[in-house]
Amino acid sequence: MSALTPRPATEVAPGAVHVPGWLTPEQQRELVAACRSWAAGPVPIRRTRLPRGGVMSVQTVCIGWHWQPYKYTRTAGDVNGERVAPFPGWMVQLGRRALLQAYGDQQAADGYTPDTALINFYDGQARLGMHQDKDERSTAPVVSLSIGDTCAFRVGNTETRTKPYTDIELASGDLFVFGGPSRYVYHGVPKVYEGTADPACGLRSGRLNITMRVTGLTDPEEAQ
Ligand code: SIN
Ligand code: MN
């Protein structure tokens, strides 16, 4: 689709809202710079190993809490044992603004305090199979931001990883929020359209996706 054609915000399913072009190019570049720094450490970006021996094609780095199949921890025992970078206050604010934009509910936005983000980098061959985000102990919405190459994003149903599903395109700067009745929808990335990114986003190739979540966990070492 032409960059000159505005793409309207749509509710893909109840509680699943797509807001195209939400991030300005400058905000995208700032996020790319932050992600580059997190990718370098303290826990470097890597392909996650799956319990049955496979390796994900997507490369991931986490902040706030470290995700590995299928739990969150403060330290990355499956990578280098280091504690992940803290979740910055500015990203909490960004998550709140995203929620307000998607749902128009100020109270829900004010009460939203994401404490982890999974930052996924997709090269042209990377894919993400249909799955549910269910390792969090909170039903709070997931806020997703996309930068770089456009992808096909599959929004399914809460019962099975198969049809019915809706395929949408997530392009650079797009916001996607899934909560409420869609919090546990199966979703995935079947295709990345290589070379579709505008370099003004800060990425020359590939796709970056940031999903902010509320883990619902407390760190025993931080308990008062
Ligand atoms: C995810 O499901 O965790 C990532 C989704 C995406 O890359 O858009
Ligand atoms: Mn997911």
**Ligand 1 within 6 A of 172 CB?**
no
Q: Please, are residues 31 and 145 in contact by the beta-carbon 8 Å criterion?
A: yes
Identify the pLDDT of residue 2.
Answer: 54
- Backbone φ and ψ for 37, nearest 5 degrees, come out as -70, -40
Measure 80 CA to ligand 2 centroid, in angstroms: 24
Q: What is the pLDDT of residues 93-143, one digit of tens each?
A: 999 999 999 999 999 999 999 999 999 999 999 999 999 999 999 999 999
**Ligand 1 within 6 A of 48 CB?**
no
Q: Identify the structural domains of the chain with CATH numbers, from first to last.
A: 21-213 (2.60.120.590)
CA–CA–CA angle 219, 46, 89 (5° rounding): 40
Q: For ligand 1, atom 2, name the residue with the nearest CA.
A: 188
Alpha helices in 122-180 (DSSP H): none
Q: What is the pLDDT of residues 155-206, one digit of tens each?
A: 999 999 999 999 999 999 999 999 999 999 999 999 999 999 999 999 999 9
Q: Please, are residues 207 and 197 in contact by the beta-carbon 8 Å criterion?
A: yes
**Ligand 1 within 6 A of 215 CB?**
no
Helices (H) and strands (E) in the chain, counts: 3, 14
